[in-house]
Structures are given as structure tokens and as C-alpha cells.
Amino acid sequence: MSYIKPKFRHPGLPRNALGITVAEYDGAISTLCAGCGHDSISAAIRNACFLSSIPPHRIAKLSGIGCSSKMPTYFLGKSHGFNSVHGRMPSVATGASLANRDLTYIGVSGDGDTASIGMGQFIHLIRRNVNMTYIVANNGCYGLTKGQDSATADLGSISKSGAANSFDGIDLASLALLQGASFVARSFSGDKEQLEPLFRAAMAHNGFAFIDVVSPCVTFNNHVGSTKSYAQTREHLDVMPLDYVPMRDEIRTQYDAGTSRGVTLHDGSVIQLRKASVDYQTDDRNAAMLAVQEAHDDGRILTGLLFLDPNTQDLNQNLKLAGKPLNELSTDELCPGSKVLNSINEGLR
Amino acid sequence: MKPTDTTDPEYFHKVVDCQYACPAHTPVPFYIRLIAQQRYTDAYLVNWESNVFPGVLGRTCDRPCEPACRRGRVEEEPVAICRLKRVAADFKDDVADRLPKAGPANGKKIALIGGGPSSLTVARDLAPLGFELHLYEGEAKAGGFMRSQIPSFRLPDSVLDEEVGYVLGMGVLTRFNTYIDSMADILTKGYDAVYVGCGAPKGRDLPNLPGRVEADANIHIGINWLANVAFNHTDKIGKKVIVLGGGNTAMDCCRTARRLGGADVKVIVRSPNAEMKASPWEKEDAIHEGIPIIDNHVPREFVLKKGRLVGMNFEKVKAVYHDNGRRELVPTGEELVFFPCDDVLIAIGQENAFPWIEKETGIRFTSWGTPILNDDETLQSTRKEVFFGGDAAFGPKNIITAVAHGHKAAVSIDLFCRGKDPGERPAPHVNLFSQKMGIHEWSYANTPIADKREAVPLVELERALKDRALEVELGFDPETAFIQAERCLNCDAQTVFSHTLCIECDACADICPTSCISFVENGAEDDLRGRLTVPALDTDQDIYVSDTLDTGRVLVKDEDVCLHCGLCAERCPTTAWDMQMFFYNMAKASPDLVEVE
């Protein structure tokens, strides 16, 4: 087994606006099973950060416990990171975001870490609208403990041991929609063309961005009868294609009239909905919930940007915190002295 | 694009850049691995089977393999292939027991004209089949231009004697000091076939330059002068020497002159330095020995005083390039430049000369003076039983090309003597087998190391210049050789893809350090090359295209900068990728001359 990725790179690798190549966004070599969907998600996050030219040292990766939560080791080796207690990444993320509102926060969690042990924290993270990208690598099983059904396993899905799941699965995207998340998306680890623009849009979004990514467990949940295998997922995919165009780029790609529609984010960047998704209304929460439900009833997996409120207020804004990150406030700013105190006291007399 | 046909051995052969570039197709990565395992004797034998003179070539080869080496595209410097070959020769044990012996006589008699590398290769390949081989050589020892032109400070006599001896020891009947002056005569001697491997023996001169005749005593044709030095007929030269020419012979001339008393030796060449024919490393060696290379100077006259050569006049030129690619050396209009000298060595090229082949033999020649041959593979002349090879066939090249011709000619001669058509060439020997050892383990050192190429250590300059026979290069020690061997990327460990097993999880594309792998919609080659993760702009390097996958896409792998690290196969959950060792040996008259596992 190779534990080291050779240092050589293609001499013709493209460079981003920072003048660096995608290699600067690499992490350690993965120790997940060969072919794990999570590795594709890692690569898509890496590519998205490279394409959006985010300086690696301005990103923080947060995770809990599980196969999914091991992932941050395997991308962005030069970024900040915090591997928290199982299901408790949301509280760490909330604290981090309050301490330094200027970093880009990427939370990586799994179906166990989010839908079971971390459910209580997850719901409150949505409610507080912490400014972060929250990715669930959803494989419908506990891969780290030999593939038992997880809380997102679909009703009737056959486990590797041969038993059909007798419970209805928790649909995290529906839950996020219901709880008022300002950015909700769903995708598939095997569809980088959709994953990358979604991640870029989510990182540009000012507020809580939730992305549920179906990510097959190649070892315990990739057999016939599983509803989250590569083959089964591909067969039932209902893809809403999209592009992400950052604000600083003029729109170079020319779209034919009627085949594309732009949705502008708060920072001026644009999500271009293409082809099948052109009529989809991303600003209608009720319609989104209906669309997800209808797809589920038809046995389809609807992927793409399900809902977006570009004008939402994130936690820092909601709490009216200082515009400057709290961790950068100096003693003078935090304790302006007796003169100021006196003037405040005077004002209360 | 159509799916790549990997059942055609030429596809994977081309991926092994070094071996593909080698005229004799020496399995380079294979022997380099053996060196890393300290199996020097095995490494030597693998070489010997392909190129017959590993010790000689490990010092003197033109190394077409090194510019081709993939490592040179991944970082700056290629693997030190040539000098690793020398390592195998330096540290091997006695190989005599493992070399083939002459086979039982088959009743066929072959004449070999000239005792150089191509004739010796023909002899080596045919001896085990029982041919009676008569080798004619004008000098007292075999070796040809390896002996007469390559100075012994680059190639010690002992090395050459040893390797020539292995061939002659296979029962070759030698006729030394026998200069053949009539082909018609040879053809009456009842040979079943005749091989002409007499080289391109005529050094070019500057007969029309003013002063040429008058100064003749101090003007020497480079290759003749080198031969005279090699055979101890010449042992000194004037203090000030001008060497004319920019090829490897010029480099050998100037360095030899330095050792025979030349204190002020200059190389003066017509073309710009960058376009000189000499290998870059040979130029470096000359400069290291205090020999300046003066470019853009065209010789105009030999200057004499009191009937004796005192120098030469040169015209300064600059290169002008025309739209059709033609280069013209245009005078700058400055005054002629005078360089004083006592002796001049002319090393401006050499030509084929066959004054000894009579018209009535039916052997016909091109206007260039080279023989008309059936084709590049058979090397058969217009007289069916006469074959040509080495410099004699297509003009001056190098040792490894001569060896490659020898292999081809031996195949032709064998077929011809068995009454078969030499045009129907036997297939190369190929093998392809998986290197999988465990779930994620390969039977070769698959992780490329980051160490840089190191230069071979040299003896002190002062000592080197004092002794013409003292070898300048010391060779790598075993520790350095190991590191240098480990720099090899094992390009013969092929990435073999089975589209039916692929589940398109992208793991290979994600892990590939050099971004060689893409899953894309199929298209025409130009279009496809442009749509890869990193566009495949080097069209000399193939792209490997799979059959259509379940999603309708194809897998495309750009071979250009693949590290052969095996990570694609390690990260593949379904073994759709496998690392398979590809072995390729060009067809020879005697297959399997040595056994190396």
C-alpha cells in the first residue's frame, strides 16, 4: 500500500487567480477503501476551492466522527482543521464562526454523525444559520463498523448481510428545507460536474449551506438490492445541471436563450441553471419540498440546487456582532478604558 | 476515437520511452531494476542479449534513450541510463558460464567484412545456430571504430577486449590484418552469405582550402589521426591545435590532443554552438578539460610562414533561418579572424567508401554512395546473398545503431540461408503479466523517489591529461547507483484497463498525481486531447482510450507524464486497473540467448 502520494505533478497544471495549482489544495493520501465515494467528494472540494481561488490558509475544515469525518485529512492539507467529538461538529463550527467570521468553513459529516448522534446539534446549526458549507457524505450505512443500516438507509434497502431495512430513512434535505436552511442542495459523489459548482456556490453563500451527497460505500453498500450503490444511484438520478460563475468573471459561456437561467448570490456571483432545471424555482421553499417528495415517491433522486435564499442573514449578522472578527479585536477595542465607561455611565444618569 | 488496441505489442512498447528510443530496444527499466537489486550480473546479461557491448556502451553510447526518458518530462533530468549500464558491467561477476556457446555446425558459411560492432553482433547472433563465421578485419584486433576512434581515456582497451572476446570466443574464425580489396574475390569463396560491416571509413577533408597541400604535414584527418593514436603510430602533437568540426569525433580529437602535448587546443565550428552535432555531455567534457569551443567561424585558409603551418584564417558568420526551415550561414562582413596553430585536426564528418566492391558483383549504390538495400529491416542488397549494416549501410551513426543493424541482418541471413523470405520478419518476444502481490501491493518499487540525477565522478584533471590511457570517468559506486536506479519510473509496468470492470467511481482520476486520467465523452482525437483534465498537447505521446463505459463516457489516459506509480490501480475497487509488467525483446536470429528471471 502506498502511503505517500508522489510529489511530481503534471508540468502543465493550470493555475488559478492566486497563481497556484490544484496540488496546493491536496491533502494526505486517503486511507478510506479504494473506490469510496467520499474520496470523490474530497476531490470535488479540493477542485472547488482551487477554482474559486480561496487561499488554503483562509479555510477551516470541521468534522465529527466516521468515515466521512476522516475525509478532511485527505484534502486541503494547508488549511485549518478541527476533528471534533461524534456529532458535535456543529457546536465547534458555531464557535469558530463567531470567533473568526472571515474564514470559509467547510463541515464534513456523515449520515450517522448528522442523522443519528448529531441530530440535535444539526437542527440548531440550521436554525442559527451559521455561515458555513455543511456536507453530508451519505452512504446509508455505518461503514466504519461493518455496514449496519444508518438512519438514512431507505426503506427496503438490502444490507450486505441480506436483511431489508424496515424503517423509513430520514431525508436530510427535506429536514433542512423544513427547518429553514437558506441553501439546500443534493448531489451524487459520482457527478463532479454538478458537485464542484454546488460546492463553489455553497462557499460563496452567506449563511448555512447544506449539501446532502449520496456517496456509495463501496465495501458495505454497493451490492444488488442496495438503494445507494453506484449502479442504483446512477440509474435513478434526476439531475438538474448547473454552472457557477464567480462575480469577477464576466460570463464567458454563452447560453442559448431559454436553456439557462441565472440565480444571483449575495456577492454577485451567479448560479446558472441549465437544460432540465431551467424552469425550477430555487426561491420557493414549498415547491422545493414538494419536488423532493415527488421524486422520492417516483423512486428518483433529485439532485441539484433545491433551494436558495441569497439575502439571508447569517449568525454574525443576526447577533449584530462586530464586522471585524472577534479574534482580531485588540485589548483597546475590547476594553476602551474608563473615559468611555464614564461617558456611558453619564448617558445612563 | 476507437478504443486503444492493447493486444498490439507496439502500443505498450511505445510507452516505454527509453526502450522504444533505443535502436536495439534494450529493456532498460528491467535491467535498471536488477541493478537496484544488486543483481549486476543479471543486469549485464539482459544488456548483453540486446546490445552485445554493455561495458562499451555504458561509457560511449549516444544514449538516444535519455532524451526520451519520461523522467525528463516530469522533472528536469532523465535517469542516468547510460552510466547505470556501466554499473552493471563494472560490478558483474564472471559471466562466461552464462553466455551461449557455438551451436552444432549447420553447414552454412558466412563472411563478415569488417570487425566492428555490427559484424560482431551478426556473429554473436548466428554462432549459436551453428553458422561457420569468417571475420575479416584490416587491423590487428577486432572492434572497428570502437577501437580506432574512441580514445582509451573514454573506453579502456580492457573493456573492449573483454566484450569483443565474448563474441569471438563463440568459435568465430578471425582473419586479422586482412584488408578485403575485392568483393568479387570474396564471392568466389563459396560463402552462403556475406555481411558488409566495414563502417564509413573515409574522413572528410577540405581539399580546396588555400594552403591545404602546402601545410599537409601538419593537417590531419580526425578519424585517421585517432586511429593512429589508438594503434600507437602517433604519440605527440604541436602545442597549439585547432580542431575543425562540431561532432563527437571533434570532441574526441580535441581531448586526445590535450593528452599528446596540445596545451592550447581549440574547437572551431561553423554552426552556432546550440546546433553542434556533438552530444551535450561530450561538449561539457571538452570544456571541462580547458578546451574552448568557438562557434560561427568558417575556415577560409591555412596560413603558412616559411613553408610551415602557423595558423588559420576564419570568416565570422551568423545563422539566418529561412521560412522553409533552411539555415544559411551569412558572413557578418567583419575582417577574417586569425588563430595561430601548429597542427589542425579536421573532424567534419565521414563518408562511405566502397572502392573494393566491383560493379560486376551486381551490388548497386545510391548517389550518396550508400548501398541500395531491399528495405531497412532486411538490409539485403541488390545482390541477394550480400547484406549491409552499421555505418556501411546508411552512413555514419553510432554503435548502438550498428548493433541494431547486426540483429536485423542476422535474422535476414538466417532466413535467407534456410531458403525463406527475409522480408517475413519474426515477431518480437513479448510478455505482459500482473504485478499484483497483495491487495494494494506491487512487485516493483512503485513510489517514485525525488532524488536528483548525479554526475559521474571524474579523476583529477591534471592526472587525466597526463595519461592518455587513464579512464576519465570513475563510474558510480554501488550506493549512488542504487539511488540513480531508483529514479527510474518503471515505465514498463503498464497501466492496463478493463472497461467491463469499471464502476466509474473516479478514484483513479482523483488520486493520479500527474492528472493523467479523465472520464469524458468520446470524440475525435484532437477534440478529445483538448478536453482532458490537463490537455494532452504532446502528440508524440499516445492517449489510451477505453471502450464506452456504462455512463456513455470513455476513460482516457494521457501516457505523457504517467509516473507508473500504480496509485490508480491501488485505488481501484474492482481491479479495472492493473499494473502489468511488459517485456519486449526485438526478434533476433537466436532467441533467448541468456536466461534471466
Q: Do A5 and B574 touch (CB under 8 A)?
A: no
Contact by Cβ (8 Å): B42, B36: no
Average pLDDT rounded to a whole number, residues B472-490: 97
Residue A222 at interface with chain B, using a CB cutoff of 8 Å: yes
Q: Do B561 and A11 touch (CB under 8 A)?
A: yes
Average pLDDT rounded to a whole number, residues B539-563: 96
Q: Which of B437, B486, B503, B565 to mutate to test the interface with A (most CBs of A within 10 A)?
A: B503
Q: Do B570 and A218 touch (CB under 8 A)?
A: no
Task: Extract the C-alpha cell encoding B272.
Answer: 552556432
Q: Do B563 and A8 touch (CB under 8 A)?
A: yes
- What 3-state DSSP class applies to A233? helix
Task: Extract the C-alpha cell encoding A12.
Answer: 502543465
Q: Do A1 and B570 touch (CB under 8 A)?
A: yes
Q: Do B504 and A6 touch (CB under 8 A)?
A: no
For residue B539, the model assigns a pLDDT of 95
- The beta strand positions in chain A, using DSSP E, are 59-63, 80-83, 104-110, 132-138, 141-142, 148-149, 183-188, 208-214, 237-239, 242-245, 260-264, 270-274, 301-308
Q: Do A40 and B506 touch (CB under 8 A)?
A: yes
Question: Which residue shows C-alpha cell 560492432?
Answer: B117
Residue A27 at interface with chain B, using a CB cutoff of 8 Å: no
Q: Do B515 and A5 touch (CB under 8 A)?
A: no
For residues A252 and B140, the model is more confident at B140
A131's CB contacts (< 8 A; 6+ apart) are A97, A101, A105, A206, A207, A208, A314, A315, A316
The chain B residue lying nearest A192, using CA atoms, is B506
Domain A22-348 has CATH 3.40.50.970: yes
Q: Which of A7, A10, A230 to mutate to test the interface with B (most CBs of B within 10 A)?
A: A10
Whole-prediction pTM value? 0.91
**Chain B residues close to A8, C-beta within 8 Å:** 74-75, 448, 450, 513-514, 561, 563
**What angle is formed at CA B484 by the lines to CA B478 and CA B487, rounded to 5 degrees?**
145
Question: Pairing between strand A270-274 and A260-264?
Answer: antiparallel
What does CATH list as the number for B100-201+352-417?
A: 3.50.50.60
Confidence of residue A251 (pLDDT cuts 50, 70, 90): low
Q: Please state, rounded to an integer, the average pLDDT across all residues of chain B.
A: 95
Q: B100-201+352-417 and B203-348: same fold?
A: yes
Confidence of residue A4 (pLDDT cuts 50, 70, 90): confident
Q: Please state, rounded to an integer, the average pLDDT across all residues of chain A.
A: 94
CB-nearest partner of B503 from A2, A9, A230? A230
Confidence of residue B389 (pLDDT cuts 50, 70, 90): very high
The chain A residue lying nearest B566, using CA atoms, is A2
In sequence order, what DSSP letters do the residues of B456-502 get, joined into one string? PPB--HHHHHH-TTS-SB----HHHHHHHHHT---TTEEEEE-GGG-
Residues of B with CB under 8 A from a CB of A: 73-75, 439-441, 446-448, 450, 503-507, 509-511, 513-516, 534-535, 537, 550-551, 561, 563, 565-567, 570-574
Residue spans of the domains in chain B: they are: 100-201+352-417, 203-348
Residue A319 at interface with chain B, using a CB cutoff of 8 Å: no
**Chain B residues close to A29, C-beta within 8 Å:** 511, 567
Residue A118 at interface with chain B, using a CB cutoff of 8 Å: no
For residue A252, the model assigns a pLDDT of 57
> Does B312 score more than 90 pLDDT?
yes
For residue B462, the model assigns a pLDDT of 94
For residue A250, the model assigns a pLDDT of 58
Average pLDDT rounded to a whole number, residues B351-379: 92
Q: What are phi and psi of B462, to 5 degrees?
A: -60, -45
* Alpha helix ranges (H) inside chain A: 37-51, 67-70, 89-99, 111-115, 119-128, 172-178, 192-204, 230-236, 285-297, 315-318, 331-334, 338-348
The chain B residue lying nearest A37, using CA atoms, is B505
The predicted-structure confidence for B138-160, as pLDDT tens digits, reads as follows 999 999 999 999 999 999 999 99
**Chain A residues close to B535, C-beta within 8 Å:** 12
The predicted-structure confidence for B88-102, as pLDDT tens digits, reads as follows 999 999 999 999 999
Q: Do B565 and A6 touch (CB under 8 A)?
A: yes
B318 CA: distance to closest CA in chain A (Å): 34
Average pLDDT rounded to a whole number, residues A274-299: 91
Question: Pairing between strand B517-520 and B554-558?
Answer: antiparallel
Q: Do B510 and A33 touch (CB under 8 A)?
A: no
Q: Do A230 and B504 touch (CB under 8 A)?
A: yes
B329's CB contacts (< 8 A; 6+ apart) are B270, B271, B296, B298, B317, B318, B319, B320
For residue A336, the model assigns a pLDDT of 87
Average pLDDT rounded to a whole number, residues A108-113: 97
Residue A320 at interface with chain B, using a CB cutoff of 8 Å: no
The predicted-structure confidence for B153-200, as pLDDT tens digits, reads as follows 999 999 999 999 999 999 999 999 999 999 999 999 999 999 999 999
Average pLDDT rounded to a whole number, residues B399-414: 98
**Chain A residues close to B450, C-beta within 8 Å:** 7-8
For residues A278 and A40, the model is more confident at A40
Confidence of residue A268 (pLDDT cuts 50, 70, 90): confident
B301 CA: distance to closest CA in chain A (Å): 50
Residue B546 carries which side chain, given as an amino acid letter? Answer: S
CB-nearest partner of B507 from A10, A39, A231? A39
Distances (CA, A) of B395 to A136, B178, B350, B359: 69, 23, 8, 20
End-to-end CA distance of chain A: 74
Q: Do B505 and A230 touch (CB under 8 A)?
A: yes
CB-nearest partner of B570 from A2, A22, A43? A2
In angstroms, the CA A195 to CA B293 distance is: 60
Question: Which residue shows C-alpha cell 468534522?
Answer: A63
End-to-end CA distance of chain B: 38
Q: Do A35 and B565 touch (CB under 8 A)?
A: no
The predicted-structure confidence for A170-196, as pLDDT tens digits, reads as follows 999 999 999 999 999 999 999 999 999
Q: Which of A2, A4, A236 to mutate to test the interface with B (most CBs of B within 10 A)?
A: A2
Distances (CA, A) of A289 to A127, A217, B270: 17, 27, 81
Percent of chain B scoring above 70 in pLDDT: 100
> Does A247 score more than 90 pLDDT?
no
CB-nearest partner of A43 from B440, B510, B514? B510
Contact by Cβ (8 Å): A174, A292: yes
Average pLDDT rounded to a whole number, residues B298-302: 96
In sequence order, what DSSP letters do the residues of B24-65 get, joined into one string? T---HHHHHHHHHTT-HHHHHHHHHHHHS-HHHHHHH---TH
The predicted-structure confidence for A199-239, as pLDDT tens digits, reads as follows 999 999 999 999 999 999 999 999 999 999 999 999 999 99
In angstroms, the CA B392 to CA B390 distance is: 5
B304 CA: distance to closest CA in chain A (Å): 56
Of B519, B509, B510, B508, the residue nearest B569 (C-alpha): B508
Residue A279 at interface with chain B, using a CB cutoff of 8 Å: no
Q: Do A9 and B513 touch (CB under 8 A)?
A: yes
The predicted-structure confidence for B231-288, as pLDDT tens digits, reads as follows 999 999 999 999 999 999 999 999 999 999 999 999 999 999 999 999 999 999 999 9
Interface confidence (ipTM) of the complex: 0.90
A101 CA: distance to closest CA in chain B (Å): 31
The chain A residue lying nearest B76, using CA atoms, is A11
CB-nearest partner of A34 from B516, B550, B571? B571
B73 CA: distance to closest CA in chain A (Å): 8
- Sheet-wide strand order for B554-558: B517-520, B554-558, B543-545
- What 3-state DSSP class applies to B413? helix
Distances (CA, A) of B505 to A135, A180, B555: 19, 33, 12
Q: Do A234 and B551 touch (CB under 8 A)?
A: yes
Residue A28 at interface with chain B, using a CB cutoff of 8 Å: no
So what's the architecture of B203-348 in CATH? 3-Layer(bba) Sandwich (3.50)
Residue spans of the domains in chain A: they are: 22-348
The chain A residue lying nearest B443, using CA atoms, is A1
B94's CB contacts (< 8 A; 6+ apart) are none
